[in-house]
Structure 1
Amino acid sequence: MQSGLSALSSIDEWLAWQEQCHVKNIDLGLERVASVYKALKPTHSRSIYTITVAGTNGKGSCVAMLEAIFIAAGYRVGVYSTPHLKHYNERVRINGTPVLDSSLASSFYKIDLARKETSLSYFEFGTLAAIDVFDHYKVDIQILEVGLGGRLDAVNIVDADAALITSISIDHIDWLGDDRNQIALEKAGVFRANQIAVCGDSTVPNSLIDYAKKLGTQLSLAGKDFDVNKNANDWSLVANHVFAGHYPMPVLQGYHQIKNAAAVVSLLANIQHIKPVSKNNIDIGLRHTSLKGRLQQVSSAPDIFLDVAHNAESAQVLSDFLKSKKTNGQIHAVFSVLVDKQLNEVLKPFIGLIDNWHIAPLQAPRALSVADLYKCLVDDNSQQCFKYSSIQQALKNAQLAAKQDDLVICFGSFYVVEACLEAL
């Protein structure tokens, strides 16, 4: 069924229709979206140099670093990254600026005509629109972030010239399962024969390495082909390539961001003969990378941080960061989570660390109920837990309860960060 909308329809109208036009919110598989991509893409269309970024945690950070460095080098850069936090247009950027509503509406209309009777999900519409916009504006490089998994994600309709795999851990268990070897193999699905690829996870399962060898992917591995040393005021990349050496600390906070930066720089070294950048471009890019919701400080006295941590690995990273702050006061958490997360594993790093929990329901179809969340939290009697009707109300009360030396961390989901940004 066609939408009945046009290129002049509003983005809100298009998104409202896309949210209800497909039978599933998440529908992994490439057959439908690939057929529409083929119908949409003119045979004479030029090929855009493509970098696909997949992984469990760190995808958004690596995409943002690559984007900033390539912009510093003078390239015209298109980025497709999900999800958004405040405005849908954040998903589709050209040289760091979200594209206009009119560009997205025009692409949505083209896609609607090209698909005929083929049903597409919300994410598939967005992926095709981003690719169409980048083609229209003739970007030099497009950086595509995988939404879920890799092999069957809509982004994988494009045969990328290079690929970057970030960390690999257990997440989205309803779709990817709870076996890390299998999850790694799903991520490796973005690899292609003779493609340049980097994996920033030094503990990557052999399933990914074996798949790359079988396919003939030119894979560089953290801990083997490159490594990092953290110094007092900077860090160094240990590698046998042109960009080995000292670098400024990334603007994005946390030791994990140094590891992300190392993977990004190593990928750039390996594609230097195709898309050259300078050491100075890298320094500038790392100093100017901007990304909401990643240990983002939004207030002080008390310090308030926003972080999208929502699985066991990212929760441990956040816990380590909170410990490094050595706050003199209490730590308040504004928290909620989706039902498909391993809640006990997400909460484990915070036992004995968080003093007061402020929980509320997420405005999302897969939200975990506050009752279930409360039950899990109050099992540990050392923690106080307060329930609210919304994340916005939870944040307001956490701010009122927090003293000047306290710290407030808002985490558990992109939906938590989105609601907190709206409330601030």
Structure 2
Amino acid sequence: MPLCCAGLQPESRVKPTTLDEWLDYQQHIHALGVDLGLDRVRAVWQRMGAPSVARQVITVGGTNGKGSTVAFLEAMLAAAGQQVGCYTSPHLMRYNERIRMAGIDAGDAALVESFERIELARGEISLTYFEFGTLAAFDLFSRADLDVAVLEVGLGGRLDAVNLIDADAVVITTVDLDHVEWLGPDRDSIGREKAGIARRDRPAIVGELDPPEGLLDALDKQGAQVERAGRDFRVEREAHGWRWLHRDGTTLALPDPELAAPVQYANASSAIAALHALGIFDPAQLARMSAGGMHLPHAPARLQWLGGDPALIVDVGHNPQAARALAEWLDAQPPVRVHAVYGALSDKDVGGVMTALGVRIAHWHLASLDQDTPRGLPASVLAGVLHQVLPGASYDTHADVSHALVAARSAARHGERVLAFGSFFVASAVLAQVAG
């Protein structure tokens, strides 16, 4: 497929000037929302000079846990006095959240200037919305004199635009069924795609205790220096705090992470393993920065408590593996009635999510997302799936997340819990409503 195969030519519409105009422009210049491959984005980056984005680069991929792992890495590195840039996606409230430097979101003016440089460089080459944003992160990081850039993979790994940069170390958090239309029908296929972010003779941290053979085989063929959770490093929970232990004898005594879910110990452990594998910090530094990082993660909507009584919790979990983590967390909480606000996109395993939570949800408030995105499912479809997988489950349908949240908070009684989850669109709407 030619590099200029899709989208409008640069001169075919009025040039944008504001950030909102630029984002709208990017939505229209490429025919496909997702168009995996590195040829187009590499060509543009080379035209921009392909400068180094930081002295060290850590790339984080995986099905779930990427955002939390990035947050731990950012917090730990900041605790060590490192200048850190983070690129994540999608955003919750503002596009600017995707690119952070020294803990501060990129400003509108900086993003616009970067988009203008990308537009000038791309010429006839068509880019997706995600590719524009990825190049903007690279561009801004290259101008910021960063010690470390932490990059979150958008989709898969091997053909994701983030993989344009050769990482000094990578973390692959988990592998589960998601985005199967692009990544493959099983964990082995998906694992092979995610392994593509690793580089020969460089550390590849595998955060899952039972990773698929496809992932391990692909990492071995690439010649990556694999370190596996449960084999090369492990977590030991204690009455107060926890310990991180490595096969080389390194042991760190750490406070519990502020992020609530039990799975966050695995995410924090993988982040520490990546920093340990880089070998740029001595044991005393690693201990201090790891301890400091437990208190600082920037990870909204990861089991985020929003207060109130009944309590409101919001989470971006959107696939069965994430739902199983939610179920594990609920099982560890006092047994109270849980009212779910749930919305989903059409490419998600809705039945798998519902089955994973099962009877833990006393009442489902199903929210339509079809007005938020073309991929959003109407509540009637969610209700049909719920009836199939959990016959007799109690539910109501709502026109949108806002109505579902109001209904759930009204129905929940003192001491009960409202859990809003299922999509970044759900989390974004809940956070906006609470803030407003």
TM-score tier by shorter-chain length is over 0.9
CA contact (8 A) 2:379 2:399 kept: no
Query: What is the rounded CA distance, in whole Å, between the counterparts of 2:40 and 2:282 in structure 1?
Result: 32
Query: What is the rounded CA distance, in whole Å, between the counterparts of 2:69 and 2:94 in structure 1?
Result: 21
What is the TM-score when the length of structure 1 is the normalising length? 0.96
Query: 1:381 deviation in Å?
Result: 4.2
Query: 1:134 deviation in Å?
Result: 0.5
Query: What is the rounded CA distance, in whole Å, between the counterparts of 2:425 and 2:335 in structure 1?
Result: 26
What does 1:141-180 correspond to in 2, within 5 Å? 141-180=148-187
How has the CA–CA distance of structure 1 residues 80 and 377 changed in structure 2, closer, same or farther, with 3 Å as cutoff?
same
SS in 1 for 2:377: coil
What does 1:230-241 correspond to in 2, within 5 Å? 230-241=237-248
Q: Which residue of 1 aligns with 2:317?
A: 309
1:22 corresponds to which of 15, 30, 44: 30
Query: What is the rounded CA distance, in whole Å, between the counterparts of 2:211 and 2:72 in structure 1?
Result: 22
Query: What is the rounded CA distance, in whole Å, between the counterparts of 1:129 and 1:290 in structure 2?
Result: 21
Query: What is the rounded CA distance, in whole Å, between the counterparts of 2:44 and 2:120 in structure 1?
Result: 10
Q: Which residue of 2 aligns with 1:417?
A: 427
Deviations 1:399-419 (A, max 9, x none): 111111111000011110001
Runs ≥4 residues deviating over 4 A: none
Q: Which residue of 2 aligns with 1:368?
A: 377
1:392 corresponds to which of 391, 402, 405: 402
Q: Which residue of 1 aligns with 2:329?
A: 321
1:378 aligns with 2:387: yes
CA contact (8 A) 2:262 2:328 kept: no
Query: 1:62 deviation in Å?
Result: 0.4
Matched residues, percent identical?
39
Query: What is the rounded CA distance, in whole Å, between the counterparts of 2:115 and 2:167 in structure 1?
Result: 23
SS in 2 for 1:267: helix
Deviations 1:283-327 (A, max 9, x none): 011112131010000023111100111111110010111121123
Query: 1:53 deviation in Å?
Result: 0.4
Q: Which residue of 2 aligns with 1:88?
A: 95
CA contact (8 A) 1:25 1:122 kept: yes
1:212 aligns with 2:219: yes
Q: Which residue of 1 aligns with 2:6?
A: none
Deviations 1:238-297 (A, max 9, x none): 222464232111111111100111111111111123798431121011112131010000
1:296 aligns with 2:301: no
Query: What is the rounded CA distance, in whole Å, between the counterparts of 1:189 and 1:170 in structure 2?
Result: 17
Query: What is the rounded CA distance, in whole Å, between the counterparts of 1:314 and 1:348 in structure 2?
Result: 12
CA contact (8 A) 1:199 1:219 kept: yes
Query: What is the rounded CA distance, in whole Å, between the counterparts of 2:251 and 2:293 in structure 1?
Result: 16
Q: Which residue of 2 aligns with 1:132?
A: 139
Query: What is the rounded CA distance, in whole Å, between the counterparts of 2:140 and 2:316 in structure 1?
Result: 27
SS in 1 for 2:196: helix
Query: What is the rounded CA distance, in whole Å, between the counterparts of 1:297 and 1:86 in structure 2?
Result: 17
| Structure 1, 330-339 or 366-375: larger mean CA deviation | 366-375
| Structure 1, 106-115 or 216-225: larger mean CA deviation | 216-225
1:281 aligns with 2:295: no
Query: What is the rounded CA distance, in whole Å, between the counterparts of 1:264 and 1:243 in structure 2?
Result: 15
Q: Which residue of 2 aligns with 1:183?
A: 190
What is the TM-score when the length of structure 2 is the normalising length? 0.93
Query: What is the rounded CA distance, in whole Å, between the counterparts of 1:421 and 1:258 in structure 2?
Result: 25
Query: What is the rounded CA distance, in whole Å, between the counterparts of 1:275 and 1:170 in structure 2?
Result: 38
Query: What is the rounded CA distance, in whole Å, between the counterparts of 1:263 and 1:76 in structure 2?
Result: 21
SS in 2 for 1:190: coil
CA contact (8 A) 2:351 2:386 kept: no
Contiguous gaps of at least 5 residues in structure 2: 1-8
Query: What is the rounded CA distance, in whole Å, between the counterparts of 2:170 and 2:31 in structure 1?
Result: 31
SS in 1 for 2:306: strand
Query: What is the rounded CA distance, in whole Å, between the counterparts of 2:411 and 2:352 in structure 1?
Result: 27
Query: What is the rounded CA distance, in whole Å, between the counterparts of 1:82 and 1:317 in structure 2?
Result: 21
Query: What is the rounded CA distance, in whole Å, between the counterparts of 2:250 and 2:119 in structure 1?
Result: 45
Q: Which residue of 2 aligns with 1:348?
A: 355
Query: What is the rounded CA distance, in whole Å, between the counterparts of 1:18 and 1:274 in structure 2?
Result: 40
SS in 1 for 2:348: coil
CA contact (8 A) 1:242 1:269 kept: no
What does 1:8-47 correspond to in 2, within 5 Å? 9-41=17-49
2:230 corresponds to which of 223, 226, 246: 223
The alignment yields a C-alpha RMSD, in angstroms, of 1.6
Query: What is the rounded CA distance, in whole Å, between the counterparts of 2:366 and 2:58 in structure 1?
Result: 38
How has the CA–CA distance of structure 1 residues 119 and 41 changed in structure 2, closer, same or farther, with 3 Å as cutoff?
same
1:77 aligns with 2:84: yes
CA contact (8 A) 1:173 1:341 kept: no
CA contact (8 A) 1:378 1:385 kept: no
CA contact (8 A) 1:358 1:385 kept: yes
Number of residue-to-residue matches in the alignment: 420
